[in-house]
Amino acid sequence: MQETVVNTKYWHREADGRLQCDVCPRHCRLREGQRGLCYVRQRLDDEIKLVTYGRSSGFCVDPIEKKPLNHFYPGSSVLSFGTAGCNLACKFCQNWDMTKSREMDTLADSASPERLAEVAEGLGCKSIAYTYNDPIIFLEYAVDIAAACRERGIKSVAVTAGYVDPEPREEFFQAMDATNVDLKAFTDRFYHKICGGHLAPVLETLEYIHKETDAWLETTTLLIPGENDSDEELNQMTQWAVEHLGPDVPMHFSAFHPDWKMLDVPGTPAATLSRARKIAMENGVHFAYTGNVHDSDGGSTWCPGCKQLVIERDWYELGKWQLDEKGACRNCGAEIPGHFEASPGQFGARRVPVRLAR
Ligand code: SF4
């Protein structure tokens, strides 16, 4: 059995004897035996340890479009997995059975970094995704997996809220090849009231990834009626994105479905997603997408140069492909930012559960 408890390095001792975890801005201060809010980091033997190294809540092969990443090897498959716990407490969480788990038996499957890389390669996956819950909280495991994957040419994809302190942020994102960061809203009110966090560290993470790493970046905002979908907020968010990240970071606006502690809020109308996409593009975002709906216009990639269709998508399914072998628009020759192969992957919209334990 893979060791599940490992030492960590991002913590320090406070004057009152408690140990403060320095992985994320929550800065949990722990006495012996206590766990942080994320539940997977615990003070044991007078150190803060990660107690879920090598454990997973399950593996699945997904299309890369599901992460969502639309400019990172479109049509390819990605071995996706998560663990348990989370460092935010979003009331609308769509994976709350894992993120809010206090039962380690949620972690039914296990795998060493080498085994994961071997399985991803064996399944023909282009990449591996750290997803379902936030990989920041199990960064020691994620970074080791990423290193094992790099040796085999498998890419690493982080799906994260970006709620992380500067030092671990550097170690984590330098190990990643691509990331989709949840930009949950553009008000501190939303982050505080609905997620139990703050906006500023997330914006810092976005700028850091864009300016200081080679990781391909896309963002996702789940639009919740009445909470983060006003014209004013969407204008501020997308203007900030163009100013600080440039026009070429793709932004996804996806539909909320009532879940967890927000069962009383209605689902997002398709018109709201289209409105957000329109606002983003009016503000200069070159690639704005609608998500979690059938919307071929909003899900497809359009050349910012000649406005012609370059990659057709319906949800996770690819259609027409109008990129040349170098990833440029066949019509006008404009280079489309991202990572593309000469032809699209053929994985389709399947979801294939995988069992790794042996
Ligand atoms: S990573 Fe976990 S233990 Fe560390 S500060 Fe964040 S929530 Fe607390």
pLDDT value of position 67:
95
pLDDT value of position 305:
96
Which atom of ligand 1 lies closest to the CA of 25? 5
Which atom of ligand 1 lies closest to the CA of 36? 3
- Strand arrangement, sheet containing 251-255: 288-291, 251-255, 216-223, 178-182, 155-160, 127-130, 77-82, 58-63, 352-354
- Going by their DSSP bridges, the two strands 178-182 and 216-223 should be labelled as parallel
Which atom of ligand 1 lies closest to the CA of 137? 1
Q: How many other CB atoms are found less than 10 A from the CB of residue 267?
A: 14
Cα 255 from Cα 175, distance rounded (Å)? 30
Instruction: Please report, to the nearest 10 degrees, the dihedral formed by the alpha carbons of residues 46, 50, 107, 59 taken in order.
Output: -170
Amino acid at 9: K
258 Cα–ligand 1 center, Å: 27
Cα 73 from Cα 80, distance rounded (Å)? 15
40 Cα–ligand 1 center, Å: 8
Q: Which tokens is 228 given? A: 């983060």
H helix runs in 213-312, sequence order:
231-245, 270-282, 296-299
pLDDT value of position 70:
98
Which residue's alpha carbon is nearest to atom 5 within ligand 1?
Answer: 27
Residue 107 has pLDDT above 80, yes or no: no
Q: Could you read off the pLDDT of 263-287 as tens digits, one per residue?
A: 888 899 999 999 999 999 999 999 9
Which residue's alpha carbon is nearest to atom 3 within ligand 1?
Answer: 36
137 Cα–ligand 1 center, Å: 7
Give the residues surrounding ligand 1 with Cβ less than 6 Å away. Answer: 21, 23-24, 26-28, 36-38, 41, 87, 137
Average pLDDT, the chain: 93
Phi, psi of 230 (to 5 degrees): -75, 155
Cα 271 from Cα 165, distance rounded (Å)? 36
- Given pLDDT bands bounded at 50, 70 and 90, which one contains residue 100? low
Instruction: List the one residue out of 51, 128, 117, 47 whose CA is nearest residue 83.
Output: 51
Q: What is the DSSP letter of 18?
A: P
Instruction: List the one residue out of 74, 90, 101 whose CA is nearest residue 346.
Output: 74
When mean pLDDT is compared across 79-88, 184-193, 348-357, the lowest value belongs to 348-357
Q: Could you read off the pLDDT of 285-338 as tens digits, one per residue?
A: 999 999 988 899 999 999 999 999 999 999 899 999 999 999 999 999 999 999
pLDDT value of position 262:
75
Cα 302 from Cα 281, distance rounded (Å)? 11
pTM: 0.95
Which atom of ligand 1 lies closest to the CA of 27? 5
Which residue's alpha carbon is nearest to atom 2 within ligand 1?
Answer: 38
Q: Which tokens is 140 given? A: 């020691």
Instruction: List the one residue out of 124, 123, 82 whose CA is nearest residue 101.
Output: 82
pLDDT value of position 101:
56
Cα 67 from Cα 48, distance rounded (Å)? 31
Residue 17 has pLDDT above 90, yes or no: yes
The string of DSSP codes covering 169-218 is HHHHHHT-SEEEEE---S-HHHIIIIISS-SHHHHHHHHHHHHH---EEE
Percent of the chain with pLDDT over 90: 81
26 Cα–ligand 1 center, Å: 6
Q: Which tokens is 236 given? A: 């501020």
20 Cα–ligand 1 center, Å: 9
Mutate to test the pocket of ligand 1, among 9, 28, 165, 195 (most ligand atoms within 8 A of CB): 28
Radius of gyration from C-alpha coordinates of the chain: 20
Over residues 6-19, mean pLDDT: 97
pLDDT value of position 292:
85
